[in-house]
Amino acid sequence: MVHAVEKVAADTPDGRVTAVGLRVGTMSGAIPEALEGAWPIAIAGTRLAGAALSVEVLTAQIWCSSCESIQEVDEFYALTCPACGVGCGNLVHGREFEIAYAEISTPDDP
């Protein structure tokens, strides 16, 4: 994850990464609290050092072909529709683990 952000930062060699936003699905296996806890250690000594982390949690959602609608599910429902109980396998959100944004300040910034 840090490497991915460093890659973004590499596009602006003079820049310093000041903030990073992550988008994490509830079924991605990542725990936001753990990410936030590990963040200062992960970025220490990198170009990201001192950058703020913000984690956006995405609730898992499935497309239920029986209800013909998108339903929110939690990890305990697995891929079963909470509305009608039919097992549907079409997860539309929930496995995300991606960089939403990276704020880079350059020395030219006011």
**For binding to Zn ion (CB under 5 A), which residues are involved?**
64, 66-67, 81, 83-84
Q: Which is nearer to Zn ion, 84 or 100 (CB)?
A: 84
Could you tell me which residues come within 8 angstroms of residue 6 by beta carbon, excluding any fewer than 6 positions away? Answer: 46, 47, 48
Nearest alpha carbon to residue 81 among 93, 95, 66, 92: 66
Q: Which is nearer to Zn ion, 5 or 62 (CB)?
A: 62
Q: Which is nearer to Zn ion, 77 or 97 (CB)?
A: 77
Give φ, ψ of 63 to 5 degrees.
-95, 120
CB of 85 to Zn ion, least distance (A): 7
